[in-house]
Structure 1
Amino acid sequence: MTANNPNNLHYIHHDILRTPSFSVGFRDGPIDHVKSLEHYHDSYELDLFIKADIQIFVKDRRYDIHDGDILFISEYDVHKVIYNTGTHYTRYVINFKKNFINELLNFLGIADLLINIQNRDYKKLRVNVSRINEFEDLFKTLYTLYSKGHDSTQITQGDNGNAENTALIKSFLLILLSRFYHALINTKPTFTQTTKDKIVRVIIDYIDSNYMILIDLDSLERKFHFNKYYLSHIFKQLTGFTIMEYAQHRRIIEAQRMLKYTNKDIIEICYDCGFNNIQHFYRVFSKVTGITPYKYRKMG
């Protein structure tokens, strides 16, 4: 099986989530059955887990999530959530796009804040007991502001008299991100990596750096000196994707980035992302995202 054969790959239409420029969600309730969800989205995500006993795989890192943890997930990072049955789950989740807060970051001279967070190898913060109320209050404030009868379009555009509310949301979001980052850089990561984790991380790093060339199981076996069926098994076990699915998704993620942030022609993006013809690129992109590359670019 090769990465260039779409008939051998499984595509999930709903695992790519297109989100508004800003949103806040809250969930509080029991988990009555085990769930596993793999997805990525075109926005950053910041989660506060008030009550949780779950695992989250973000790209090449496994996080054990417990009460009082805060986790940052970068845009387009594939992640998988594993919920444990019979447990109670309470969390706030914030999604926001780069363009929602970029102008404020630039104005204040801290344009690198998001980049600095994104470049951290470890993005989970175990909040000190003395500060948990401080962070929870910020999440609550943002949730309250977001819930004041304003839909995502109004928040994005600041129209219909909501400019003040939008400004408040951006201000509190900036405070939250800044405090999260400064707490994160002063926190020693607490995690353990198994041999399987390390192998999968090496494979993901390789795919992320070489998505533009042909990748297949035989070449990975030769490069990493592990049986290809073993590599396939542990990769699927830890990420929820087969190796070939991940490689194809990585190509589509890079195509999405280029469509969104560059003026390259679609055919140039096609070849830059490792596809050998434009028809194949359109077919795979549409299967994965639900829309064509042209429509995706028009959406901004």
Structure 2
Amino acid sequence: MEQEPQPPFIIEQIKRAGPFSMDSDHYHDTYEIYYLLAGERSYYINNLIYTLHKGDLIFINKNELHRTTSKGSASHERILINFEEVFLQKTLAHYDLHFPFLTAQCLLLRPGVHEQGAIEYLLFSMLKEQKEKRTQQIPYFQTLLIQLFIEMNRIQEISNEPITPESSDKQLKVYEIIDYLQANYAEKLTLERLSETFFISSTYLCRVFKQTTGFTIVEYLNYIRIKEAQRLLQSTNAKVTTIAEDTGFDSIAHFGRVFKQIVKRSPLQYRKQNR
């Protein structure tokens, strides 16, 4: 059964009391803007972990692995935007607008108080528009989103307080493990092999990886493998069985099951839609 098509632009505001960690898709073929209205969060993106504070904003490009997890026991509130590339394509071309972060993996911003006010005005205008469902809603969203892009671009140009990744001993060890998984995903990787490679027990390895990134090792490895499989399905004529082997899966059935779980369609459906 095919999924219902998603709108090209979605915005939502959510407030949560107490700890919460994402338990949903971790990368997708839409752009994402995450703005933290209150609280603190740990955010995994682009192989690194960041601590976000009130007023921080992250722009995430399509198909970048990411996840937010609890920072202590505090509550948090955030606004999330997801939009497809086609949503702004014609408008950006018409006005000859270029925003460098649209081609980067991600953009992390720590706006000042005045800049936060400008961002929140635009975000709450979008939320109000979505709730009221008035005529000509799409162009209204598009103009607000472009204004938000301009604010983000200006903040990036004058930013003197970049958001730096966390770098405790535990996190540095996890970064090493991540690099190893990305370099060796096509091989048969077991907890025993990883444990021997990094001289730590498999129990501790699983716990520290999950606590730091929000992913289990198996989840993370599967996402690396499926992203590479997507690239091969788009850019080569290799058979699906060959791609399954080349990306480290032990059987075509296992590959197909994991691929569909993450991408929401079969490998052949994905190739047909992306060629």
* Deviation of the 1:79 alpha carbon: 1.0
- Quote the residue 1:79 is aligned against: 67
Matched, 1:125 2:112: no
One of 244, 266, 271 as aligned partner of 2:218? 244
Q: Quick check: 2:46–2:66 contact (8 Å CA) kept in 1?
A: yes
Distance 2:41 2:55 in 1: 12
Matched, 1:45 2:71: no
The one-letter code sitting in structure 2 at the alignment partner of 1:41 is Y
Match of 2:22, SS state, is strand
- Quote the residue 1:149 is aligned against: 133
Q: Quick check: 1:22–1:97 contact (8 Å CA) kept in 2?
A: yes
* Deviation of the 1:144 alpha carbon: 3.9
- Quote the residue 1:134 is aligned against: 118
Give CA deviations for 1:146-195 in whole Å, capped at 9, x if unaligned: 44527xxxxxxxxx9666336425533532442354355x4333554211
Give CA deviations for 1:174-222 in whole Å, capped at 9, x if unaligned: 32442354355x4333554211101111211222233233322343344
- Quote the residue 2:78 is aligned against: 91
Distance 1:77 1:282 in 2: 20
* Deviation of the 1:111 alpha carbon: 6.6
Q: Which has the higher contact order (CA 8 A, sep 6+)?
A: 1
Matched, 1:205 2:156: no
Matched, 1:196 2:170: yes
Q: 1:176 to 1:292 in 2, by over 3 A?
A: farther
Q: 1:177 to 1:97 in 2, by over 3 A?
A: farther
Match of 1:280, SS state, is helix
Identity among equivalent pairs (%): 28
Matched, 1:279 2:253: yes
* Deviation of the 1:227 alpha carbon: 4.2
Q: 1:105 to 1:195 in 2, by over 3 A?
A: farther
One of 30, 36, 54 as aligned partner of 2:21? 36
Q: 1:60 to 1:38 in 2, by over 3 A?
A: farther
* Deviation of the 1:100 alpha carbon: 3.3
Q: 1:262 to 1:235 in 2, by over 3 A?
A: same
Q: 1:222 to 1:172 in 2, by over 3 A?
A: same
Match of 1:25, SS state, is strand
* Deviation of the 1:26 alpha carbon: 1.6
Distance 2:253 2:191 in 1: 24
Q: Quick check: 1:57–1:63 contact (8 Å CA) kept in 2?
A: yes
Give the TM-score normalised by structure 1. 0.71
The one-letter code sitting in structure 2 at the alignment partner of 1:168 is T
Distance 1:105 1:167 in 2: 10
The one-letter code sitting in structure 1 at the alignment partner of 2:111 is V
Mind listing any 5+ residue stretches in structure 1 that lack a counterpart?
A: 1-17, 151-159
* Deviation of the 1:45 alpha carbon: 1.9
Mind listing any 5+ residue stretches in structure 2 that lack a counterpart?
A: none
Q: Which aligned segments of 4 or more residues in structure 1 are displaced greater than 6 angstroms?
A: none
Q: 1:166 to 1:47 in 2, by over 3 A?
A: closer
The one-letter code sitting in structure 1 at the alignment partner of 2:101 is L
Q: 1:106 to 1:113 in 2, by over 3 A?
A: farther
Q: 1:284 to 1:91 in 2, by over 3 A?
A: closer
Distance 1:220 1:273 in 2: 18
* Deviation of the 1:248 alpha carbon: 1.6
Instruction: Tell me the C-alpha RMSD between the 2 structures.
Output: 3.4
Q: Quick check: 1:56–1:81 contact (8 Å CA) kept in 2?
A: yes
